[in-house]
Amino acid sequence: MTKGRLEAFSDGVLAIIITIMVLELKVPHEGSLEALRPLVPVFCSYILSFIYVGIYWNNHHNMFHSIQHVNGKVLWANLHLLFWLSLIPVVTAWMGEHPQQNWPAAMYGAVLCFAGVAYYILTRALLSTGKNTAFAKALGADFKGKISVVIYAIAIALSFWVHWLSYALYIAVAIMWLVPDKRFEH
């Protein structure tokens, strides 16, 4: 399989994920601004998740732009990443509907954490092909990838005591990744 086919499939899955998330936004039954108030947590969780999916899409694109070959191991690692990303709409909706509850905040973090681990596994699968030397050079130590998973784990634990602090950590990681990874752009 060519890397182009893998990229096209991944792009399609990510587009569907965003579509599912936006369909969770419900139109208010009234025409007043006050009718929007209950939707603020839902909309905020949508914004955060949209940013996360966009970050993964950007970095996935940049990463695959820098490689030459894929193999079966890469295909499965990519599917593993897409599996965790496909759960984002569910935890986004749950967190938006129950913003003061600890379990939705924790499960949102768990999905982000497992997606981060899956992304790490994908990078290792790409490195194992031995043919993507430009990618290996660009990846380096991948500090941002590793620290993100640690921050997610801390946020998950914090969600059971101070859920708003876990949200702050999820936002902090998103801010850290907002700028596409320059390592792969050269």
Count of domains forming the chain: 1
* CA angle, residues 1, 73, 174, in degrees to nearest 5: 100
Give how far the C-alpha of residue 97 lies from the chain's centroid of Cα atoms, to the nearest Å.
20
Residue 18: how many CB atoms within 10 A of its CB? 17
pTM: 0.89
131-150 residue pLDDT tens: 666 666 666 667 888 899 99
pLDDT at residue 68, rounded to an integer: 79
- For residue 128, pLDDT beyond 90: no
For 92, the domain range is 3-184
Spatial separation of the C-alpha atoms in residues 115 and 99, rounded to whole Å:
21
